Structure 1
Amino acid sequence: MKNQMLTFIAAKSLSQNSQKSYLYDLQQFCDLTQGQVSDYSLKRYEQSLRELKLSAQKRKLSTVNQFLFFLYEKGTLDRFYKIKSSSQEPSRPCSYERMNLSKLEDETHLKTGQLIACLILELGLTPSDMIQLKVADLDFDFQVMTLKTPNRGMRVLEIPEHLCQLLKSRQGKTYLFDNKGHSYSRQWLFKKLSAYLNEIGYPDLTAQKLREQYILREKAKGVSMMDLSQKLGLKSPMTLEKYYRN
């Protein structure tokens, strides 16, 4: 793609400074997309522009879209791709605050909803992670949990001592949330979680908000964005940028 990039710039009547600007923007584009043009790679590039000033966004989008049209005209691309601005206003900093959720750990009698909430808050698990989790995936001697998911590969997570005690009550079952040897549905987990949170006075909390609290806790511990991305099984750390922005 580098040769095509140079051919594209040479074909335009640009000043020397403009040529450098075009080359810089296109090199960034090629590096981020790894030279592969697809809906997914362009979406990633679009997301990377969100923290820039609107004027810089517009300049880069104009350059890249001209280049994409050039590639389409030359037959390099089988269709014309066009990136749209991710926002019409300069991005505003998001405010995420840590909550005091010690009440989730203060319950003396274990409830299913409590366990679901703690798995999200302390390990960042999703309901999809939980319904596939088997008791055999828990190693209480080493206090680790092994997660195997088709799209995220294998992850090994450390289990906090408090959570170990809650999980040990599930020994003897096949799945962590076991329905006569089968797993429950995600909807079942959501209902149990919602009922529990309502019961202890957190009606506005959701699985997503609990997961955000996990992210903020890990950030406060000094966990890097890349390491946290791996813990969460994310394909890219870019989705965590809003939490690390400040």
Structure 2
Amino acid sequence: MSTAAGGLVIDWTQMTTYNTIMALATGAALLSLAALGRTVARKEPFHAEGWALNLGVLGFILTLTGAHMTLTWPFAKYFPFDNIIFGEPSLAFGVILLAAAFYAWKRAAALRDPATVGRELAAAAQPLSIFVTGLGLSMIAIACAGIAFQLFAAPPEEPISGRFAQYPWLEAIFISGLYATVGLTALLYPFFVRQASAGESGGAVQKVTGVLLVLDGLAFLLFGALNYYTHIGLIINTMPKP
């Protein structure tokens, strides 16, 4: 990365980036989990194969990209912390989604009754509570690092986001806030599945979890879609000139 007379110049051979598709898939997955919870809570027909395909597609994208970003050190020469901030959470979330897809596909015949499917899904998901809680704490730690070190700020050359480059704390608060609320959702996970496996529905924990999933899912989905424009613009504006 260097600064020329015309502005910032980045050697893009040393800065691989595709957190666009990662953010998009993460948002879609969070919204899917919220929709899944609503379907089960309302005792609507549960089509296990369709949910397995949905979660499998999203899980594959996040596992593949997350594994590559996690295992390639440093993934982006200028931002080696991307391995930790984006790669590892995506890998973990992707593997969980793939496991859920596999379970739904294998147990499709046993997950036909809307009256019992919620308890069965929650009972199967309950053993993951320890790992999900750890991921929640990790998300909060990343959020704290984002604030403390003012990460996530876009350079001035990036369209839209770059207009706030002189206020690095602004984007740091936004992205860190997303990580923190996802972390909070993960910390609620053990209580959620415990209540659901006992057949309880409509409790405060379940409502708060659902709201957080929808808000975070929309934020990640829209932010990821926006980044397709802003990242393309950043590349165009910072490519070495021939």
Q: Comparing both structures, which one devotes a greater share of its residues to strand?
A: 1
Q: Say which structure is richer in helix.
A: 2
The structure with the larger Rg is 1
Q: Provide the TM-score with structure 2 as the length reference.
A: 0.22
* Bigger RCO (CA 8 Å, 6+ sep): 2
